[in-house]
Structure 1
């Protein structure tokens, strides 16, 4: 794979309860494309991954949310899992971090339940997105146009529904991160 992202630094925002495959596969794709990837979380040391409702592996955290700024990164990944985005959207600093990527026009990729955080950040107005079906109404209520496709891209915002969509998600995510800054996204 080419090193399309060799000059890029990407934040992956996650906490305990992250769906493990939705964390690992995007990180692998980003690393293979040459990006510097930082796992950013609410707490230092490590976070607990899950395989749906079963415990998975622990992942070492690179930076806490209090140590970073959207200005430090070229793009943002929001993996799913039910508990992960639900905890993140309750943290004002994490929500502001996400919102700042939109203010700066930087690409963002969110899968499964990850778009829940986008609703909390109030960045979905008029945007076409997809997600895990159970949060469809929340995204529509936040102003999104929800579509049932494996991968949707709207001006630098890449969304996918579930782990089965990871191939398309990772491919489009790398493409958008390589392209870089878009026109300022309303946030």
Structure 2
């Protein structure tokens, strides 16, 4: 995988409450493949990652504030999960607009676990097939998406995955999709 993404810029959009492993593992896979990866958030303050929803994990430095970035700055976008993270993101107009613009531009987008919640908020799941954590599948269906029970799904440039147990397949797929 080394060099496969050389010259590519990837935004990882996350906020407080992000599931640590869903932030770290994709970022490592993308970096190892040669991508330059920026952590983009609601502000430039460090974000608090979690192990599950109740156990604080590490804090991560933020590279850029979402209100100050453009889809033209990046070749691809990743939205990690955790229950709290996408809930923060989907209530922020700049984050929702960034995701909507990215999907509408046709750039590759990936979301894991609860991450697809912001895709629902951005109104970009209609007519797409996705997978996700079970508790948000009704939201996806209500937003016009089709939900399947698979480790990783890519449809019309949007890659989704269910949970941390699928990270190997998710990371392999996003590197492949982002290289294409």
Q: Check whether TM > 0.5.
A: yes
Q: Any unmatched runs of 5+ in structure 1?
A: 180-187
Q: Does 1:14 align with 2:14?
A: yes
Pairwise CA distance, 1:155: 2.0
Pairwise CA distance, 1:128: 0.4
Q: Does 1:74 align with 2:85?
A: no
1:115-172 deviation per Cα after TM superposition (whole angstroms, max 9, x unaligned): 0000000000110000000000000001110001000111221100000000000011
Indicate the residue corresponding to 1:24 in structure 2.
24
Tell me, what secondary structure is at the counterpart of 1:18? coil
Indicate the residue corresponding to 2:130 in structure 1.
129
Indicate the residue corresponding to 1:150 in structure 2.
151
TM-score, normalised via structure 1 length: 0.94
Counterpart mapping for 1:154-173 below 5 A: 154-173=155-174
Indicate the residue corresponding to 2:62 in structure 1.
61
Pairwise CA distance, 1:102: 1.3
Q: Any unmatched runs of 5+ in structure 2?
A: none
2-side partners of 1:165 and 1:39: how far apart? Answer: 22
Tell me, what secondary structure is at the counterpart of 1:159? strand
Indicate the residue corresponding to 1:38 in structure 2.
38
Work out the number of aligned pairs and report it: 179
TM-score, normalised via structure 2 length: 0.98
Runs of 4+, deviation exceeding 4 Å: none
Q: Does 1:47 align with 2:42?
A: no
1-side partners of 2:167 and 2:57: how far apart? Answer: 18
Q: CA RMSD in A?
A: 0.6
